[in-house]
């Protein structure tokens, strides 16, 4: 679906003093969570005393548009299909928004310009709001940090703000988003049935590698859901080729594998699938990881056979090709 067409299915319904919603024209479902930010802007008494109505409206329009983009990102990436927003999900949302809406997001978020003129959402940020959310200032801390999701970051665990300074962690943003969107997540309003996770289909122990990739605590903290999916998809592809090689070389006939069996498997894979295997296995090239290397040496903690399951065991097996 084209992004612009997707957004046309969203209808923003403003209402002073009420809980605005985002309605999906095609289903009638309403996404209410992020609009709490708009309601807070509308009803924070001190903010509305210190900021004129026109600037309040600019900030509301900016927040609502960022909410639309964020909801699109959640649905299009399928990060909410499991009913939660986690650290790996906020990393994926950051990638999606920065890739598709970078320039627009920068304008919508706004900044405190050198000439003293605030722009975008910054029309209300740092201008007197006192409403609390999750024990923090709702506008200056929670909303502002959530709205840093569109900025590119080179930090391992934190987002950067509009000035390139480090801000809230991906984990904290996940915590806040999950809480704000809890009603919508439970109701399934943000789910995307067209996005399916990778599942091992070989019916063998090799499928364990895919489960480990998805469930490894370290990976789920350090990399995006998109990278996890790519790593799992690559492992699935190599597993299928590996079973083909085992069958073609009769390597499993003796009930266990010998060194010679592995040599035969290696020779078969190189002779028949060298290019495909190289692409699936991937590499770390010019700071750009590909294939299985999307998850290799990226923080995995799970151990099997006394070794790191991803970085040593899985990586070692998948050098067979």
* First vs last C-alpha separation in the chain: 37
The string of pLDDT tens digits covering residues 218-262 is: 999 999 999 999 999 999 999 999 999 999 999 999 899 999 999
Question: How much is the pLDDT for 160?
Answer: 86
225: which residues sit within 8 A by CB, 6+ positions away? 77, 79, 88, 89, 91, 92
d(CA 185, CA 286) in angstroms, rounded, equals 38
Which residue stretches of the chain have pLDDT < 50? Answer: 1-28
Bridge partner list, 276: none
pLDDT of residue 111: 87
For the chain, give every domain's residue range. 3-187, 205-317
Tell me which residue of 290, 288, 284, 292 sits closest to 319, measured CA to CA. 292
pTM across the whole model: 0.87
The span from the CA of 311 to the CA of 298, in Å, is: 8
pLDDT given for residue 23 in this prediction:
40
pLDDT of residue 152: 85
Mean pLDDT of the chain: 89
Helix (H) or strand (E) holding 42, with range, is helix 35-43
């Amino acid at each position: 679906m084209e992004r612009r067409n997707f957004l046309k299915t969203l209808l923003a319904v403003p209402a002073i003093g009420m809980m605005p919603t985002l309605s999906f024209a095609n289903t009638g479902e309403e996404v209410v969570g992020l609009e709490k930010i708009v309601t807070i802007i509308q009803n924070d008494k001190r903010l509305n005393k210190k900021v004129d109505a026109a600037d309040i409206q600019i900030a509301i329009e900016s927040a609502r548009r960022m909410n639309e983009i964020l909801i699109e990102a959640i649905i299009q990436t399928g990060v909410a299909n499991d009913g939660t927003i986690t650290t790996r999900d906020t990393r994926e949302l950051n990638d999606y928004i920065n890739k598709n809406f970078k320039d627009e997001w920068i304008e919508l978020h706004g900044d405190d310009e050198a000439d003293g003129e605030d722009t975008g959402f910054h029309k209300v940020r740092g201008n007197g709001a006192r409403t609390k959310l999750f024990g923090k200032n709702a506008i200056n801390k929670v909303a502002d940090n959530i709205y840093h999701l569109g900025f590119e970051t080179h930090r391992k665990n934190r987002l950067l703000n509009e000035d390139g300074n480090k801000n809230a962690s991906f984990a904290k943003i996940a915590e806040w988003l999950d809480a704000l969107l809890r009603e919508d997540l439970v109701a399934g309003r943000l789910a995307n049935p067209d996005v399916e996770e990778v599942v091992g289909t070989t019916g063998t122990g090799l499928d364990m590698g895919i489960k480990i990739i998805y469930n490894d605590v370290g990976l789920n903290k350090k990399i995006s859901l998109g990278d996890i999916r790519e790593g799992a998809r690559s492992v699935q592809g190599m597993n299928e080729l590996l079973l083909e090689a085992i069958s073609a070389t009769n390597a499993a006939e003796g009930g266990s594998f010998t060194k010679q069996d592995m040599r035969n498997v290696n020779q078969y894979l190189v002779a028949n699938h060298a290019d495909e295997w190289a692409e699936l296995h991937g590499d770390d090239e010019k700071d750009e990881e590909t294939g299985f290397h999307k998850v290799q040496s990226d923080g995995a903690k799970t151990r099997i056979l006394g070794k790191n399951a991803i970085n040593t065991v899985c990586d070692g097996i998948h050098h067979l090709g």
